[in-house]
Structure 1
Amino acid sequence: MSTLHVLSHSPFTDTRLDSCLRLLGARDALLLCGDAVYALQPGSAPFARLQDRAEALQLFVLAEDLQARGLAAPAWATAIDYPAFVDLSIQHAKVNSWL
């Protein structure tokens, strides 16, 4: 059973990203939204952790949140819009929001 993990908190204020990465299954996906997109700041520790797992990680990021924060998605992440977010939610058996 696959799970879509949704993170919205900055990786610089707590450990949700690290906890999520430890629990990700092979068929799971991770969506960064809100301040969680700061994990994609090149040169940062969260960026390095995500990049290290890029080949095995299905990583999505809300394009609107990237744009609002002046960031760009790396080649190993897929920027999506809200309709694609809904599609992702439907494609996975469960959605886990890391509140």
Structure 2
Amino acid sequence: MSTLHVLSHSPFSDTRLGSCLRILSTKDALLLCGDAVYALQPQSSILKGLEEQSDTLTLFVLEEDLLARSIECPPWATCVDYPGFVELSIRYDKVNSWL
């Protein structure tokens, strides 16, 4: 069973991102939205950690939140808009929002 994990909290304020990454299976995907897109700040240790997992990590990022924070989407991740977010919610068997 595949799961879309949705994170919206800054990875610099708590440990949700790390906890999520530990339980992801190869069928799962991660969607960063809201302040979670700060994980993609250039030269951050969090971005380096994500890059190290980029071969096995399916990462989506909400484009509107990247634009609002002037952060670029790395080439190994996929930017989605709100209709794309809805499509992902349908594509995966479950959606887990890390509140």
Any gaps of 5 or more consecutive residues in structure 2? none
Quote how far apart the aligned CAs of 1:51 are.
0.5
Are 1:94 and 2:94 matched, yes or no? yes
Percent identity reads 67
Question: Within 2, Cα distance between the matches of 1:79 and 1:30?
Answer: 12
**TM-score by structure 1 length?**
0.98
**TM-score by structure 2 length?**
0.98
User: Counterpart of 1:32?
Assistant: 32
Which aligned segments of 4 or more residues in structure 1 are displaced greater than 3 angstroms?
none
Please provide the CA RMSD for this pair: 0.5
User: Counterpart of 2:42?
Assistant: 42
User: Counterpart of 1:66?
Assistant: 66
Quote how far apart the aligned CAs of 1:45 are.
1.3
Counterpart amino acid of residue 78 in structure 2: T
Encode CA deviations 1:30-71: one digit per residue, 9 max, x unaligned.
000000000000111110111010011110000000000000
Any gaps of 5 or more consecutive residues in structure 1? none
User: Counterpart of 1:20?
Assistant: 20
Question: Aligned residue pairs: how many?
Answer: 99
